[in-house]
Structure 1
Amino acid sequence: MPQRVVQPSFTGGELAPSLHKRSDLAKYSSGLKTCLNFFCHPHGGISNRAGFEFIVETKDSSKASRLIDFQFNADDTYILEFGDQYMRVIRLGAQVELASTPSAWASGTTYAKTDHVSYGGVNYYSKVDSNLGNQPDISPTEWYPLTGLVVEIPTPYLEAELFDIKFTQSADVITLAHKNHPISELSRAGHTLWSLDTITFGANVDAPTGLIATPSGMDDDDLTYYYQVTAVDEDGKESLPSTEASALVDSNWQVGEKVDLSWTAVTGADRYNVYCSRSGLYGYIGTTYGTAFVDTNISPDTSDTPPIAKDPFAFSGDYPGAVGYHQQRLAYASTTNEIEKIIFSRISEFHNLNVSFPQKASDAITMRLNSNEVNEVRHLISMNDLIVMTSGAIWKITSGDNGFSFDNIRAYPQSKSGASNMRPLAVNETVLYTLPKSGVVRDLTYTLEVDGYAGNNLSVMADHMFRGYSMASWAYAQEPDSIVWVVRSDGTMLGLTYLREHQIWGWHRHTTDGYFEDVAVISEGDIDAVYAVVRRTVNGNTVRYIERMHERIDDVVEDAFFVDSGLSYDGAPVTTLAGLDHLEAKSVVALADGNVVRDLTVTSGSITLPYSASKVHVGLEYECDAATLEPPIEGTIGRVKSASRLIVSLLDSRGLWAGPDEDNLVEMKQRYLEAWGDPTELFTGDVEIGIEASWENRGELFLRQKDPLPSTI
């Protein structure tokens, strides 16, 4: 008996083959057998992904590159290309270049770090401050040569180290951590002004100098008092103490006896704290806003002592490999010598690791995660608590409702699964991470029931995408469709449509004529732009391109961009399009004024269209496939069924093919009232497709988009 079957949603994504008979599962009714180059919308439909537009070739295509996002504010957002000992900058879909050729180098001029000059037809970047008299072409320590006008700075990171860099950002500064190098900060002063500097740990304010202690009115001098002074800035940040000064005083101190203290003023100091030692331990005796103080035998408060210098990251083997902010402190973790140790900076003094004795609440904190195994700290994520992900477990470090200080923080294990080295993603109040061995993706969020953190295995319904693979990198694009983009070790891009509050997660696969190697996302206007490093073979050569997923424009067919490594032309009608050197000898497809043009080959960087067009998108072709599961009709799973009629609800679509399988497809006909020569318009509504009935499968349906055109089902 004929039956009507409706699938109203595809939010379950592509399900693993092991689940293709599991019609009892809730996700079965919203799942797909295949979801290739389609993605799931959180509201239920699927669309073919937009194409990737070509941005630029990496500096050295023979080596891998890594993309890191950098957002200063809503307008100033960047993608940073880190390669073998260099960094370049991309902004709003274009490589950042100097506005013009810099001024010529002058031997008598002192240059600051980040200054640019030209010399001998080459542009240079100043690597140091106080750069005077160093001729650029023979001074590699002071000057770094550029390629044309391309903005670039040197870095210490080798190709093999790029994907082990951990980073965190505050305003216009990114802190970069790698165990092989001193921890550094990348700062931005403008689109073309970037500087990478090794962090110098210590107080923000210099210690006072020239301290003199002068006793007066003493009847005897049988006791020695010692003094130190610290400078304090207007934010309350305190320097290290001055060199101590001593004074011989009367052990039977009388009224009128005193010690006069004086010192040299410190730039940036708002006030000064004075400390005195009578028995080996310094204690606070007062504060002054000038550079003099009088001690009239004030009793030292030995619970308040001057800071003690501490720099635990001074030598190789002690460089931290993880970093993260939490409650106005910067946490550093996982050195080669002590992989389980975490050190927190002083409050609001991110480069200050100084302590006091006895310890103060604002002091730097050192802690170790004590467990049965010594596990490497890999990630530090700030939520309500600090989430610490190690190679063998996940912990929360909490201070409850109190301040985050040495005397009230506690560490509690949350999971024994551990995390891989790939940087976790913060998705609203949830953290996504991958397991260290299998690459399985899990989420983690606070649960009131257990007063801790727990989550779900997000890979279990699509485990075929993870078995035998590792995950190379990932990034989260919140707008417009809340998708996590994941680069797999074989060069496939996976997508996870994820909306935890509605219990939505569905996986989809994405391929191209090449291999995805890295992905990053940055806010650009009203969308989160997806950038990728793609390794391709062009004209017999291996090349690596940085490409950007185009906005999915599907309301005007002429604007549809559904080609990879593509470029666009918008101008007077032409038949020849140049500037395609990056696709030399490749077979490409074009959408010219809304019409599909095939059988094009790039020759000498150009293609020739069969007719003139004013708006053209040219690039590599890719097909998009979606296949349904066996209809969940009660009592029929596993039985042969035939589907002969298909009604598809479409939104702004054109060019879809459908059938019982990929070898028996019928094109959806939709040209109705368009004038002769005009492109077929996009269609919204229900369309019936007559497909050939077949008793050779179990009622599954196959849909394909072959053309560079939008399809939303």
Structure 2
Amino acid sequence: MPRASLLLSTFNAGEWSPELYGRIDLDKYRNACRRIENFVLLAQGPATRRPGTQYVASTKDDGVVRLIPFEFSTEQAYIIEAGANYFRFYMNGGRIETSPGVAYEITTPYGVNDLSGLKWAQSADVLYLVHPQFQPHKLARSGHTNWSMTPIDFSDGPYLDENVAAVNMTPAAANGSNVTLTASAATFVAGDVGRLVRIKHGSTWGWGKIITFTSATQVKIDIKSTFGGTGAVPTWRLGAWSPGTGWPSTITFHEERLFLANTKYQPQTLWASVSGAYESFAPTGTDGVTKDDHGLNFTIADDRVNAIRWMSAGKTLALGTTGGEFNLTASSLNEALTPSNVTVRRETTNGSADLRPERIGAAVIYVQRAGRKVYEMAYSFENDAFNSPELSLLARHLTLKGIKEIAYQAEPWSVIWAVRQDGALLGLTYMRGQDVVGWHQHRVAGTAAKVKSVACIPGIAQDEAWLAVERVVNGVVRRSVERMAQAFEPEDAFDKKGAFFVDGGLTFNGAGATALTPDATAAVVGSTNVPFAAAAPAFTLDDIGREIQYSYPALEGEGYHVARARITGFIDASLVTATVLAPFPGVAPIAAGAWSLGATTILGLGHLVGETVTILADGATHPTRVVAPDGSITLERPTAYAHVGLGYTSRLATMDIEAGALDGTAQGKSRRIHRVIVRLNNSLGMRVGAEEAGSEDVVFREARTAMDQSPPLFTGDKVVAFPKGWATQAVVTVLQEQPLPCTIVALIPQLTTMDG
């Protein structure tokens, strides 16, 4: 019976499909897991618990929404709540409001069923939006509460090809408004209102916009560029976009041009604006001469249908179509794109879903046509071509239900978040340079909880991931906008303020906003009527009964002492008296933010009425509470700082451990895990076992830790004995159910294999 100790030092191969449970021959088998739920995989190897989600606001009328990022700068980035014919705006973790509780919003033409079809591209403080059923619009920002949405009035194009039929156009005038334009044969339809028309007289081109439909042979136009005459001429072009021919459905910027593509009438065609003039698509000058900076159009010619789904700008312009993926470049190496210098080459035949891709470095991450696979498109120097490997190959069980949206969070983890059609949230830790591609799944807490949309924007230190979440709360469907909390990065082992591990949660912070000076008698426990003077108004009459709390360092390595005094008298807004419950260290003023007013009642949880909530109070777990109808909970002890929300479980289960046997593999043989060494970093509170039902609590509290304080965060090795006997499967399962951090650096199981 050989014994073995196996070091599982990395988990970044991610969760694998059951079809791969026997692939011990793969190099990454040891780095993979059967299940990774609510753990984020780090590129370095560890698995760290997913932060919780912070409730920001309910959606308008609890309606379905989509989240859109708006990145004006790293200091001013917004999330747009796109709902039924409205946009609302968020920044710095909150909703922009015109007055307390009143959201700032603007009207839009997009109904709730149109939201999934929106695509966008941004230039400075203008967001260009397209949808196949609507004229392109632009969203302009002038200030936090000054946004405007207007249709884009494109000038001089784009157009269809020149007329080749025996049809003449006759304008009633060479210039002016409401001018009659007559065709010699049926040409116009009612849907042409708003469509452009370009007419050539002699060597001069002029153009105008159709404003009124009169009949199939006659319309009224506003002339924007003077015609060269008023005679009947056969040389003319109609605009490519209109309600009848359809509107572009995808958009991007590339080489100082605005690119749009895929209308109902021309699904395989893309158009580019005049260089540097995003709203002009003039194909030539008025003299008919085409210059390098004029607008261009290109139609993909191929042996299959190639409706353009997305465009992604890099060194080349990557195109995703229903039939494959292409690259658009200049025909000449290192030259700029011009109307006469453009070529499109097929790179792959996977086909793309109608979803926005994510460009990460030189690679484009996109969802395959059926929505069930994720691919990477990147240039390979070895092959001198663009390769497109499947990123979901090893975790197909996670993506089979279809992906509806992806968003990339570069900091701090380099994770691609994916929303599945059924509302599940998936994560893909992606760092191609380090050969890291690992999937993990996430279950947002709550009854029938579903993630409906995800978007990421840059933050000051970390990128922000925002979620639109749907839950059943107290029997009613509620929808909210939530922000994933920042990755937990404590300053020391006693710092748990950033440990936000509840979903749909809020934070209570009783920190004082001004300096506070205790009387000298505050150093004696039991002293009564002790004055506490604030440097500015800080108290109200309702504070009687609350506690003043001040945490200060104890001896090195022993954490903090907490000085406490219960307020018994209110003199004025800057002076109260109190009874000392735990001594204060001196009479020096306590800085603003260093002291707190503890509370036993926490308000503001109206979005979770009737739900059982999990609580982390002053860094320690607190018994669960049910939110009262007024949105409050009552704590069993005064608390200065608390995170309150819906609890969730993080799970990690290894693959069937393969440590070898005397005659080869250990798979299928009876094995017994005697114990597991769990190597942790800044972790507290967890269970470990062979399976969830029989897992054992890991003890973190030491004898020197005061009973009225939470144990410090632990970094190091914990030895866990396994009570489970012999079995033909050797799996280590780690669970974290408390609202506390957990980062698994390594697992070192010690096991015996029975041969024969």
TM-score, normalisation: structure 1: 0.78
SS class of match (1:462): helix
Q: CA deviation at 1:324?
A: 1.1
One-letter code aligned to 1:440: K
Q: CA deviation at 1:203?
A: 6.7
One-letter code aligned to 2:610: A
1:587 has 2:609 as partner: no
Contact 1:181–1:316 (CA<8 Å) still a contact in 2? Answer: no
In structure 1, what is the equivalent of residue 39 of structure 2?
38
In structure 2, what is the equivalent of residue 550 of structure 1?
485
Match of 1:446 among 379, 397, 404: 379
Alignment of 1:634-649 (within 5 A): 634=660, 635-649=665-679
* Matches of 2:317 and 2:110, distance apart in 1: 28
* Matches of 1:346 and 1:492, distance apart in 2: 42
- Assess, with a 3 A threshold, how the Cα gap between structure 1 residues 156 and 647 changes in structure 2: closer, same or farther: same
Q: CA deviation at 1:60?
A: 2.5
Q: CA deviation at 1:311?
A: 4.3
In structure 1, what is the equivalent of residue 355 of structure 2?
422
Match of 1:566 among 493, 505, 511: 505
1:682 has 2:713 as partner: yes
Cα displacement string for residues 531-590 of structure 1 (whole angstroms, at most 9, x for unaligned residues) = 101100111100101111111225212431100000010111111111111000001110
Contact 1:180–1:317 (CA<8 Å) still a contact in 2? Answer: no
Match of 2:311 among 361, 371, 380: 380
Cα displacement string for residues 341-390 of structure 1 (whole angstroms, at most 9, x for unaligned residues) = 11111111111111222422111112100111232111111111111111
Contact 2:672–2:725 (CA<8 Å) still a contact in 1? Answer: yes
Contact 2:404–2:421 (CA<8 Å) still a contact in 1? Answer: yes
Contact 1:420–1:439 (CA<8 Å) still a contact in 2? Answer: no
SS class of match (2:454): strand
> How many correspondences in the alignment?
571
SS class of match (1:362): coil
Alignment of 1:687-702 (within 5 A): 687-702=718-733
Contact 1:309–1:355 (CA<8 Å) still a contact in 2? Answer: no
TM-score, normalisation: structure 2: 0.73
SS class of match (1:354): coil
Contact 1:379–1:388 (CA<8 Å) still a contact in 2? Answer: yes
In structure 2, what is the equivalent of residue 137 of structure 1?
none
SS class of match (1:567): strand
Q: Which runs of 5+ in 1 are unaligned?
A: 101-147, 205-240, 244-276, 284-307
One-letter code aligned to 2:417: W
Contact 1:654–1:709 (CA<8 Å) still a contact in 2? Answer: yes
In structure 2, what is the equivalent of residue 624 of structure 1?
650
SS class of match (2:715): strand
In structure 2, what is the equivalent of residue 668 of structure 1?
698
Contact 1:202–1:311 (CA<8 Å) still a contact in 2? Answer: no
One-letter code aligned to 1:461: L
1:541 has 2:476 as partner: yes
In structure 2, what is the equivalent of residue 497 of structure 1?
429
* Matches of 2:498 and 2:279, distance apart in 1: 50
* Matches of 1:315 and 1:491, distance apart in 2: 34
Q: CA deviation at 1:438?
A: 4.6
In structure 1, what is the equivalent of residue 183 of structure 2?
none
Contact 1:180–1:316 (CA<8 Å) still a contact in 2? Answer: no
SS class of match (2:102): coil
Q: CA deviation at 1:312?
A: 2.7
In structure 2, what is the equivalent of residue 13 of structure 1?
14
Alignment of 1:190-229 (within 5 A): 190-202=143-155
1:610 has 2:538 as partner: no
Contact 1:559–1:594 (CA<8 Å) still a contact in 2? Answer: no
- Assess, with a 3 A threshold, how the Cα gap between structure 1 residues 384 and 322 changes in structure 2: closer, same or farther: same
1:655 has 2:655 as partner: no
Match of 1:508 among 428, 437, 440: 440
Contact 1:311–1:353 (CA<8 Å) still a contact in 2? Answer: no
Contact 2:412–2:487 (CA<8 Å) still a contact in 1? Answer: no
In structure 2, what is the equivalent of residue 87 of structure 1?
87
Match of 1:169 among 114, 122, 130: 122
* Matches of 1:608 and 1:317, distance apart in 2: 62
- Assess, with a 3 A threshold, how the Cα gap between structure 1 residues 558 and 528 changes in structure 2: closer, same or farther: closer
SS class of match (1:3): strand
In structure 1, what is the equivalent of residue 66 of structure 2?
66
Q: CA deviation at 1:65?
A: 0.4
Contact 2:371–2:403 (CA<8 Å) still a contact in 1? Answer: no
Cα displacement string for residues 119-161 of structure 1 (whole angstroms, at most 9, x for unaligned residues) = xxxxxxxxxxxxxxxxxxxxxxxxxxxxx63210000011111
One-letter code aligned to 2:679: S
* Matches of 1:676 and 1:543, distance apart in 2: 40
One-letter code aligned to 1:527: Q
Identity of aligned residues (%): 30
SS class of match (2:673): coil
Cα displacement string for residues 610-657 of structure 1 (whole angstroms, at most 9, x for unaligned residues) = 111111110001001101112222311222211011101100000010
In structure 1, what is the equivalent of residue 343 of structure 2?
410
* Matches of 1:559 and 1:487, distance apart in 2: 26
Alignment of 1:231-246 (within 5 A): none
* Matches of 2:728 and 2:442, distance apart in 1: 26
* Matches of 1:404 and 1:621, distance apart in 2: 54
One-letter code aligned to 1:677: D
SS class of match (1:508): strand
One-letter code aligned to 2:692: E
* Matches of 1:502 and 1:446, distance apart in 2: 16
One-letter code aligned to 1:702: T
Alignment of 1:256-271 (within 5 A): none
One-letter code aligned to 1:654: L
One-letter code aligned to 1:21: G
In structure 2, what is the equivalent of residue 335 of structure 1?
263
Q: CA deviation at 1:309?
A: 9.0
- Assess, with a 3 A threshold, how the Cα gap between structure 1 residues 710 and 697 changes in structure 2: closer, same or farther: farther
Match of 1:601 among 613, 626, 633: 626
Q: CA deviation at 1:697?
A: 4.3
Q: CA deviation at 1:189?
A: 0.5
* Matches of 1:366 and 1:515, distance apart in 2: 41
Q: CA deviation at 1:282?
A: 5.5
Contact 1:334–1:340 (CA<8 Å) still a contact in 2? Answer: yes
- Assess, with a 3 A threshold, how the Cα gap between structure 1 residues 373 and 463 changes in structure 2: closer, same or farther: same
Contact 1:622–1:706 (CA<8 Å) still a contact in 2? Answer: yes
Contact 1:13–1:30 (CA<8 Å) still a contact in 2? Answer: yes
* Matches of 2:637 and 2:728, distance apart in 1: 44
Alignment of 1:152-163 (within 5 A): 152-163=105-116
One-letter code aligned to 1:425: E
One-letter code aligned to 1:559: G
* Matches of 1:434 and 1:314, distance apart in 2: 29
